[in-house]
Amino acid sequence: MSILAGLGVGMLIITVFRVVIFSYYPFPEQLTWKDSVDMNIYFNGLPDAAFIMIITSHVFGALLGTLITSLISRNSRFTNGIITGSIIFAIIFVINFTYDFPVLYLMIDTLVTAIAAFSGSAFGQGRKV
């Protein structure tokens, strides 16, 4: 149950951030969400601030999702946190490599999301709730 709770918290945080990001940078009406070429055009036209916001959402989602999992697990706290972090990381990884994102964004996002997931698990492991 702790893994599901952590996944729910992590994905909720990422979703809320995405709603805010897409309200600041709306998708053009002439493009469609279902066409990968249109999505690549949209993502390549985003400013750096949008990518910073996306990275921030991934970091907070991974960090707090794994932290919640580690805090509420009864046993194997670190392991459950790492499982949650791995699932969140895998989802982000697949989305990041589905579209043609800038290479620098991919490198930074992959690195800091993995660090955040590990940090949340490690920090939550030693705390008593």
Determine the pLDDT at residue 41.
Answer: 82
Q: Indicate the pTM of the whole model.
A: 0.88
Residue 118 scores a pLDDT above 90: yes
The boundaries of the domain holding residue 110 are 2-20+48-125
Q: Is residue 69 part of a domain?
A: yes
Q: Is residue 65 part of a domain?
A: yes
Q: Assess contact for 89 and 62: CB atoms under 8 A.
A: yes
Residues 81, 34: Cα–Cα separation, whole Å: 33
Q: Assess contact for 104 and 48: CB atoms under 8 A.
A: no
Q: Is residue 110 part of a domain?
A: yes
Q: Is residue 38 part of a domain?
A: no
Residue 27 scores a pLDDT above 90: no
Taken in order 49, 50, 53, 58, the sign of the CA dihedral is negative
Closest CA to 56 of 94, 91, 108: 108
Q: Is residue 119 part of a domain?
A: yes
pLDDT in tens, 31-77: 777 777 878 888 888 898 999 999 999 999 999 999 999 999 888 88
Domain count, the chain: 1
Residues 118, 121: Cα–Cα separation, whole Å: 5
| Amino acid in position 85 | G
Q: Assess contact for 77 and 5: CB atoms under 8 A.
A: no
Residue 129 scores a pLDDT above 70: no
